[in-house]
């Protein structure tokens, strides 16, 4: 299988009030096409930062991040934005829907940015697929948390990205809604065939991943099946 993501000796240091803070140290990791990878570890271990590095939302202080064969560290902000358009979908714990846009407009937006002609038609299909065909003209504030996350999920997968990044997608949802979102996300991934990398604290979610990477104090401390690295 082809490599979709490759991190070689990656470090991330950010400026803090009390001086530089080393968030990630010497991370080397390879993700192949079709894999589902769960990033686990205690709070502050660097899981979300690693996910952001993979998505080009954060810039590595050292090392190299290759996504779909392209070196993300060599791209500027706009280059990264253009790269994400067709290649990556991101789902956040806090949904991050644009409050002034309806569900339909939120989902169509990445297609519009990519210049896709039938953006709204495809967005409608995707919303129907997540069960929100009847709520398309609702604004985020008119939707429940679970519904908002479904919209976010539809928005992430609508451009058919090769890589789907999810940062604790069920973290803000109750058990019932969390399970529903999980089922939906894995279902969409299976249907679209994307590579899924997910940060999670939920063992049952991590258990559904083909590989789990454990982080602690900014380093990878374990890798393998959940039973091997622990939840």
Partner 1 sequence: MIGLAARIAARELRGGLAGFRVFLACLALGVAAIAGVGMVRAAIDAGLRDQGAVLLGGDAQMGFTYRFADEAERAYMAGIAERVSEIVDFRSMVVVGDGENEDRALTQVKAVDDAYPLVGAVVLEAGTLAEALAGADGLPGAVMDKVLVDRLGLAVGDRFRLGVQEFRLGAVLLREPDSATGGFALGPRTIVRTSGLARSGLLEPGTLFETAYRLDLPDGADLAARETAAEAQFRDAGMRWSDSRRAAPGVERFVDRIGAFLILVGLAGLAVGGVGVASAVRAYLEGKVATIATLKVLGATGGVVFAVYLMQIGALAVLGVGLGLILGTGAPMLAAPLIEARLPFPAEIALYPQPLAEAAFYGLTTAFLFTLWPLARSQQVRAAALYRGAAGGWPGLGALAAIAGLAVVLIAGAVWFSGTMTLALGTAGGVIGALGVLAVTAVALRALARRLTRGLRGRVAWRLAFGAIGGPASEAVSVILSLGLGLSVLAAVGQIDANLRSAIDRDLPARAPSFFFVDIQPDQIEGFLARVNGDPSVSRSENAPMLRGVITLINGQPAREVGGEHWVLTGDRGVTYSAVPPTNATVTAGAWWPEGYDGLPQISFAAEEAEEIGLQLGDRLTVNVLGRDIEAEITSFRQVDFSTAGMGFVLSMNPTALQGAPHTYISTVYATPDAEAALLRDVSRAYPNITAIRVRDAVDRVTEALGAIAQATAWAASATLLTGFVVLIGAAAAGTRARVYEAALLKVLGASRGRILLSFALRSALMGAAAGSVAVLAGAVAGWAVMVWVMEADYAFEPMSALAIVLGGIMATLLAGLAFAWGPLAARPAQVLRAQE
Residue 58 Cα to chain centre, angstroms: 13
The residue within the footprint of partner 1, chosen from 96, 122, 138, 219 (CB under 8 A), is 96
Number of residues that bind partner 1 (CB under 8 A): 31
Q: How far is the CB of 66 from partner 1 (least distance, A)?
A: 19
Query: Of the ranges 28-36, 72-80, 121-129, 223-231, which one interacts with partner 1 (CB under 8 A)?
Result: 72-80
Q: How far is the CB of 92 from partner 1 (least distance, A)?
A: 7
Q: How far is the CB of 80 from partner 1 (least distance, A)?
A: 8
Query: Of the ranges 39-47, 66-74, 86-94, 124-132, which one interacts with partner 1 (CB under 8 A)?
Result: 86-94
Angle between helices 119-129 and 103-113 (to 10 degrees): 130
Q: How far is the CB of 52 from partner 1 (least distance, A)?
A: 6
DSSP-derived secondary structure letter, 172:
T
Judged by CB, which is closer to partner 1: 28, or 94? 94
115-174: contacts with partner 1 (CB under 8 A)? 155
Q: 102 CB contacts (<8 Å, ≥6 apart)?
A: 136, 137, 138, 139
- 21 makes contact with partner 1 (CB under 8 A): no
Torsion-angle region of residue 44: left (phi > 0), alpha (psi -120 to 50) or beta? left
Q: How far is the CB of 35 from partner 1 (least distance, A)?
A: 22
Judged by CB, which is closer to partner 1: 83, or 186? 83
Query: Of the ranges 1-9, 66-74, 90-98, 171-179, which one interacts with partner 1 (CB under 8 A)?
Result: 90-98
Question: Is residue 182 within 8 Å of 146, Cβ to Cβ?
Answer: no
Helix-strand-coil split of the chain, %, nearest 5: 40, 30, 30
For residue 102, what are the CA distances in angstroms to 3, 23, 149? 36, 36, 14
Question: Is residue 129 within 8 Å of 154, Cβ to Cβ?
Answer: yes
Q: How far is the CB of 44 from partner 1 (least distance, A)?
A: 13
Question: Is residue 212 within 8 Å of 37, Cβ to Cβ?
Answer: yes
Question: Is residue 196 within 8 Å of 55, Cβ to Cβ?
Answer: no
Closest CA to 226 of 214, 205, 212: 212
28-57: contacts with partner 1 (CB under 8 A)? 48-49, 52, 55-57
Query: Which spans of this chain sit near partner 1 (rule: CB under 8 A)?
Result: 14, 48-49, 52, 55-58, 77-78, 80-82, 84-86, 90, 92, 96-101, 105, 109-110, 112-114, 155
């Amino acid at each position: 299988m082809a490599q979709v993501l490759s991190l070689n000796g990656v470090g991330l240091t950010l400026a803090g009030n009390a001086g530089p803070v080393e968030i990630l140290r010497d991370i080397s990791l390879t993700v192949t096409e079709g894999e589902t990878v769960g990033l686990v570890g205690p709070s502050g271990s660097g899981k979300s930062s690693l996910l952001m590095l993979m998505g080009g939302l954060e810039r590595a202080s050292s090392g190299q991040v290759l996504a779909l064969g392209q070196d993300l560290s060599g791209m500027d902000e706009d280059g990264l934005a253009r790269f994400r358009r067709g290649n990556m979908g991101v789902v956040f714990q806090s949904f991050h829907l644009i409050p002034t846009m309806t569900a339909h407009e939120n989902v169509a937006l990445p297609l519009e940015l990519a210049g896709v002609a039938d953006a709204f038609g495809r967005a409608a299909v995707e919303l129907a697929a997540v069960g929100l065909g009847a709520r398309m003209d609702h604004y985020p504030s008119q939707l429940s948390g679970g519904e908002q996350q479904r919209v976010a999920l539809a928005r992430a997968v609508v451009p058919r990205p090769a890589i789907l990044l999810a940062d604790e997608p069920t973290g803000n949802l109750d058990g019932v809604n969390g399970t529903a979102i999980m089922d939906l996300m894995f279902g969409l991934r299976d249907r679209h065939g994307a590579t899924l990398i997910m940060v999670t604290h939920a063992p049952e979610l991590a258990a559904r991943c083909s590989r789990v990477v454990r982080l602690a104090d900014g380093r990878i401390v374990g890798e393998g099946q959940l039973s091997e690295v622990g939840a």
